[in-house]
Copies of this chain bind each other. A is one copy, B any other.
Amino acid sequence: MARRPKSPVASGDLDARKATILQAVVTEHVDTAAPVGSSAVAAATDLDVSPATVRAEMVALEREGYLAQPHTSAGRVPTDKGYRYFVDHLERGAVGAAQQTRVRDFFAHVRGEMEDVLEQTSKLLSQLTSHTSVVVGAGHSRATVLSAQLVNLDAHHHLLVTVFSDGTVTKHSVADAPGASAGEVAEASRQLNALLIGTTLGSRIQVPSRADAVARLVREATSALHEAAPTIEGEQVYIGGSSRVAESFDGVETVRAVLSILEQELVVVSLIEDILDADVSVAIGSEHGLEPLSACAVIVAPVTLEGETVGALGLLGPTRMRYREVMATAQAVSDELTRHFGGEPGA
C-alpha cells in the first residue's frame, strides 16, 4: 500500500464524517468533472445531515487543504492533497470480471519476445483504462555476454552480433577498409566470442594490440560494442494510447506539454522509476517534480521476475481519474505479466 510522503498540516486521519464527505466530493467530481456542492454531497452520502452541516465540514476541509473552490459561489474540487487522502484510504478493489478475463485472454494468447509482449501490454493497458500507458523494460547493465559473432555483410562491412544472458541481442556495424579475408573474419569472430563471453557491458576488455587484420577487426568490433554501451544498457520504453492525452485534458497547451514529456523517453523512465523507488504506487499532481505534468496522476506497478524488479508499468491520466479501477487494472496486469514471465521466462 502506498505511503503518503509527509504532509505539512494535520496529517493524521480525518474524522469519519470529513472522510466520507471528502470521498463523496472526489467520487462526484470524477464523475461530473464539475465542482460539487454541499447538497450534492448530502444527497450522495448516507450521513443524513443537512447541506448546511456539510458546508461547515467543507469549510474545514478547505482550510486543511483537501478541497479548493474555483470561485466563491461554486462548489468544491479536490486538491492534490484531497486526492492523495482519497487514494491512501482506498480499499483495494478487485478488477471487474470482464476486464479480468480480458487480461487473462491477452496473456494466454500473446506470443513473441519480451519486447513484443511489453509493447502489446502497453496497448492493452491503454485500452483497458482509456489512459496513456507506459511500460518500461529494465536495462541490461548486469547481463553477461553469452555469445558474440562477427558476420560478414559485404567486402568491407561486418556485423558484430552479441547475445546477452537476459535474452537481448545487439548488433554493431564494423567497417573494415582494407578488407579481411573470409578466414580472417572467421578467426576474428572466434576470438571475439572467446574474449567477450561472460563479460558485462561495463567490463574492460584486453584487446590484442597486434597490427594484423584479425586483431584490427577485434579491436574495431569491441570498441563499437563498448561505444554503444550506454544506449544498450538503457531501458526500453513502450508508450500506448498517447491519443488519450487529447481526451484527458481540455487545454491544448496542457496536451502539448504532456505529449512533449512523453516524447522524452529518458524523462519518462526516470519519472516511473522515481515513483517506484519511493515505494508509492501513485503520484498525484505535483508530487512528482515534473511541472508540465502537474495536471496528471501517474499510477505505477512493478513487474518482477524471480523476485527482482525487471520493469514497471505506468498509467498516466488526469488527476481527476478513476483511481480505484485504474489501480486495480494496473495491479492485475502487473500480476499477470509477472506470472507470464515467471511461468515461461523468455518465451
Contacts and interface: CB of A to CB of B under 8 A. Distances in A.
Contacts of A99: none
Interface stretch (A3-11, A313-321, A324-332, A339-347): A339-347
A241 interface: yes
A113 interface: yes
A129 B151 CA distance: 39
Interface string A126-151: 00000000000000000000110101
A102 interface: no
- Copies of this chain, complex-wide, total 2
Interface of A is mostly: mixed
B171 A167 contact: yes
B259 A246 contact: yes
Given A246-B246, A263-B242, A113 B173 contact: yes
Nearest to A175: B347
A253 B242 CA distance: 14
Which residue, of A149, A257, A346, has the highest number of chain B Cβ atoms within 10 A? A346
A347 B157 contact: yes
A1 interface: no
Interface residues on A, range: 35 or more
A38 B172 CA distance: 60
Nearest to A263: B243
Contacts of A171: 113, 163, 167, 169
A256 interface: yes
A163 B252 CA distance: 45
A263 B228 CA distance: 29
A335 interface: no
B152 A146 contact: yes
A173 B344 CA distance: 11
Contact of A345 (B157, B167, B228): B157
Contacts of A199: none
Contacts of A245: 259
A99 B344 CA distance: 51
A165 interface: yes
A72 interface: no
A253 B255 CA distance: 12
11 contacts: A146-B153, A147-B149, A153-B346, A154-B345, A157-B347, A173-B346, A243-B257, A247-B252, A247-B256, A250-B252, A255-B255
Closest 9 CB pairs of A and B: A243-B259, A246-B256, A243-B260, A169-B171, A246-B255, A151-B163, A147-B151, A157-B346, A173-B347
